[in-house]
Amino acid sequence: KNEVEQSPQNLTAQEGEFITINCSYSVGISALHWLQQHPGGGIVSLFMLSSGKKKHGRLIATINIQEKHSSLHITASHPRDSAVYICAAPGGSQGNLIFGKGTKLSVKP
């Protein structure tokens, strides 16, 4: 069974700071998801990546398949980035995703 660990659990930053959230997993995978959960509960899929790096606006996700590690970066952070960021990896069975416990990010103005 895959185990997904995220760090840090909580993160407070000042507006404009560069943010890094880390995700590691125990079993080799073909792809990994990054999700964003807004304070109201809505969940948005940010990235699905299987290698290298993807960029969307101020968000950058990287993955190293060999090291079983992925990072989510936010450049020039803004208070509207405040949310819980969750990574998820396949759990082994066809329908199962294993989710990290999430990183709660709070960006102060």
Partner 1 sequence: GAGVSQSPSNKVTEKGKDVELRCDPISGHTALYWYRQSLGQGLEFLIYFQGNSAPDKSGLPSDRFSAERTGGSVSTLTIQRTQQEDSAVYLCASSGGTVTEAFFGQGTRLTVV
Interface residues toward partner 1, by CB under 8 A: 29-33, 35, 37, 40-45, 48, 50, 86, 88, 90-91, 93-97, 99-102
Q: 100: which DSSP letter?
A: P
Closest distance to partner 1 from the beta carbon of 50 (Å): 7
Q: SS3 breakdown of the chain: % helix, strand, coil, rounded to 5? A: 5, 60, 40
Please identify, using beta-carbon distances, which residue of 93 and 109 lies nearer to partner 1. Answer: 93
Closest distance to partner 1 from the beta carbon of 95 (Å): 2
Q: Does residue 91 sit in helix, strand or coil?
A: coil
State phi, psi for 11 to the nearest 5 degrees.
-145, 125
Closest distance to partner 1 from the beta carbon of 93 (Å): 6
